Amino acid sequence: MAAAPETKTVHSPALTYFSMLSLLSLCPPFVILLSANATLSCLLKYSMLLGLGWYTMVHADGSVAQTWNYLKQHGLQGFIDIWPRPTAIAWKIIFVYGAFEAAIQLLLPGKRVEGPISPTGNRPVYKANGMAAYFVTLVTYISLWWFEIFNPTVVYDHLGEIYSALIFGSLIFCVFLYIKGHVAPSSTDSGSSGNFIIDFYWGMELYPRIGKNFDIKVFTNCRFGMMSWAVLAVTYCIKQYELNGKVSDSMLVNTTLMLVYVTKFFWWEAGYWNTMDIAHDRAGFYICWGCLVWVPSVYTSPGMYLVNHPVNLGMQLALYILVAGVLCIYINYDCDRQRQEFRRTNGKCKIWGKAPSKIEATYTTTSGETKTSLLLTSGWWGLARHFHYVPEILAAFFWTVPALFNHFLPYFYVVFLTILLFDRAKRDDDRCRSKYGKYWKLYCNKVPYKIIPGIY
């Protein structure tokens, strides 16, 4: 088997090992702690089963500090007590949802789309049916509720158990990816670093498939992860409606912005197949576990928080936040669109009404071939090298701010995203520097800021 072409790490080996081991050990408990608030709230409201849940949600009111105090007082046993166990209904919900998404991924029609050429010279081919899958999923889910066939509040009421099941199920799935990478890789874009932890954490295959057509990363990242974001956003709205007989304007702003963001994602899904997540990051714990567990739990958490904390913003403030959020989502979309249009037309397009300024960067593939890529140095990409992360972070802030500032918990995603994207900018810069060498240096001279123009 070929050695993994991009298993070289960006940070020092000690830091890489430390961050990998921290993520592997800390992420699962954190997801549970976060979801415990919502989960325990359900248990409190409907069955009063856990005294601890009652403590966290009623006395601690979603407060991290009080949950922390509880843990300090009760130690490990207290943590074990609030850990929701995976239940049969949780597994059933995950299985039905996953099977439905897998089936429509395979069956819905879509245009044939080619991804970027991989380091070993392969070009993956996809069926672009993301928008259709998104539409079918939401219409099916809302219809099931409307016609009283399935009540989405069941999902909310079993959220902790679902996350718990997802944590374990996804770990097993990552083991499957690891074994598949060793025994049955789908293409030559696969390889081992010779180290079990690195292979498991960063993944072995770039484009793993089941059969010829079922793309695993499209399933984990898009159809399971991103789709669950929209499904859960709708679920939180319905739950708040069920609890209060109405949906607060704060929840409406939050849900609308999250849905606009996810709709944008599926509208642009074929573009996503050209990004780092798909074209550079291999299918392992880092990306797949993140999309299967972290996206449904952490990314949706501002909406989860609002279920029990309805805030009345008033029409004017709600509209200001909504417009600001939509604007940020649009700018983020336009940055991605600009880069992709520029690459698609080989630089023969207009950027902000003018011919683009560019750098022709040559590089050598792992097979020794010399190729050329165009780097855009005007438009959004002339402001900073990763300016698109600014509107991404601001959009997340705007769908969180309806929760106001009583607690830190709903802002966890914004903070996490900021750290993730600042680290990603560094990872991408380092990768591009080693790919393009002097041409990347030229780009850095022309566009000196990494993310925030004039500041960083």
Interface with ligand NDP (CB under 6 A): 275-277, 332, 336, 339, 373, 375-376, 381, 388-389, 392, 417, 420, 424, 428, 432, 435
Residue 421: CB minimum distance to ligand NDP, A: 6
Which CB atom, from 158 or from 388, has the smaller least distance to ligand NDP? 388
Which CB atom, from 298 or from 307, has the smaller least distance to ligand NDP? 298
CA atoms within 13 A on the CB side of 54: 8
Residue 235: CB minimum distance to ligand NDP, A: 20
Which CB atom, from 199 or from 336, has the smaller least distance to ligand NDP? 336
**CA separation (Å) from 199 to 4, 192, 193, 205?**
9, 6, 6, 9
* CB neighbourhood size of 196 (10 A): 10
Residue 254: CB minimum distance to ligand NDP, A: 16
Which CB atom, from 180 or from 385, has the smaller least distance to ligand NDP? 385
Residue 186: CB minimum distance to ligand NDP, A: 21
Residue 373: CB minimum distance to ligand NDP, A: 5
* CA gap 269, 333 in Å, rounded: 11
Which CB atom, from 131 or from 317, has the smaller least distance to ligand NDP? 131
Which CB atom, from 10 or from 420, has the smaller least distance to ligand NDP? 420
Which CB atom, from 161 or from 336, has the smaller least distance to ligand NDP? 336
Please name the helix (run of DSSP H) or strand (run of DSSP E) that holds residue 444, with its range, or none: helix 438-446
Which CB atom, from 199 or from 392, has the smaller least distance to ligand NDP? 392
Phi first, then psi, for residue 3 (nearest 5°) are -70, 145
DSSP 401: G
Q: With beta carbons less than 8 A apart as the criterion, state whether 303 and 310 touch.
A: no
Q: Is 52 left (phi over 0), alpha (psi -120 to 50) or beta?
A: alpha
* CA gap 170, 228 in Å, rounded: 14
Burial 134-150 (b: 16+ CB within 10 A, else e): bebbbeebeeebeeeee
* CB neighbourhood size of 416 (10 A): 16
Q: Residue 194, exposed/middle/buried by CB under 10 A (0-12, 13-18, 19+)?
A: exposed
Residue 37: CB minimum distance to ligand NDP, A: 22
Residue 170: CB minimum distance to ligand NDP, A: 17
What one-letter code names the amino acid at 234? Answer: V
Residue 31: CB minimum distance to ligand NDP, A: 15
User: What are the structure tokens assigned to 298, written together?
Assistant: 């952490």
Which CB atom, from 291 or from 403, has the smaller least distance to ligand NDP? 291
Residue 379: CB minimum distance to ligand NDP, A: 9
Residue 62: CB minimum distance to ligand NDP, A: 23
DSSP readout, 280-344? Answer: TS-SSIIIIIIIIIIIIIIITHHHHHHHH------HHHHHHHHHHHHHHHHHHHHHHHHHHHHHH
Residues 6+ apart with CB under 8 A from 416: 298
User: What are the structure tokens assigned to 450, written together?
Assistant: 């990494």
Give me the residue whose beta carbon is nearest to ligand NDP: 275
Output the CA angle 321-290-234, nearest 5 degrees. Answer: 45
